Amino acid sequence: MASKPTIRVAVHGASGRVGQEVLRAIDAAPDLELTASIDAHEPSWSPASLPHYISVVEALSGRPADVIVDFSNASASLDMAPVALAAGVRPVIGSTGFTPEQTSYLAAIIDEHHLSGVLAPNFSIGAVLLLRLAAIAARYFDYADVAEEHHETKIDAPSGTAIALAHAIHEGHPERFHRNVPDREPLGGTRGGEYEGITLHSARLPGRMAHHQVTFGAPGQTLTLRHDTINRECYMPGVLLAVRKVMTLDGLTVGLNSLLDL
């Protein structure tokens, strides 16, 4: 029986913390081939023979790829995507901070090129299960809080996963949640952000990585769901799944849950 062809993968944002893990994971996968690392700075680790590029155009013209994995930021992703798609390369994007309009733009340009792509706010399978469980529980409660903690260098707040949690909870409970508004607020902003009555809190401090907690409240009881990311290796099974699946998809797939049949 003929073996499946090797999938050629470039990594955009390769010098970042997650980008480094992506390089290692793809390099270790027997059915995947690293073609290039792309970043303004050279990664501290990469396979000895892997060429590094600053420019996406130069990387994809110099070393053809089937998929480009992106862990940079929303702005850099939006610059990268049209270039990759024009070269026939499918994007798998883990960067966060996209607006609904920007997500729609990505979907439109992917359709224009008759290709596919994956955009996921979190590639951890545990975090994806948290989204699903929160959506199931939401229908039974009228109060909901989302709290997230990340390292002090994270550029967006709330996190993309926290926003995805709020959307998932609202989909499971389409009516607006009840939300206490205090008579006095001696320190402004203490109650946190708000989406459809769901309160969101963000913490940024050293010693943390990525932590998300959903608490539902009802008379006489609470339900707490929590996911803790211990290290960035946890994202790699989801990234590898997306790289393999994107070759057989059509259009833009948003969220890893769609690839897990959840």
Exposure letters 39-68 (e unless 16+ CB within 10 A, then b) = beeebeebeeebeebeebeebbeebebbbb
Q: Which of 52, 113, 154, 211 is catalytic?
A: 154
Q: In what order do the strands lie in the sheet with 90-93?
A: 52-53, 32-38, 7-12, 67-70, 90-93, 116-119, 251-254
* Nearest Cα residue to 142 out of 219, 60, 56: 219
Is 52 tagged catalytic? no
113 is catalytic: no
Out of 12, 150, 170, 227, which one is annotated catalytic? 150
**Catalytic residue set:** 150, 154
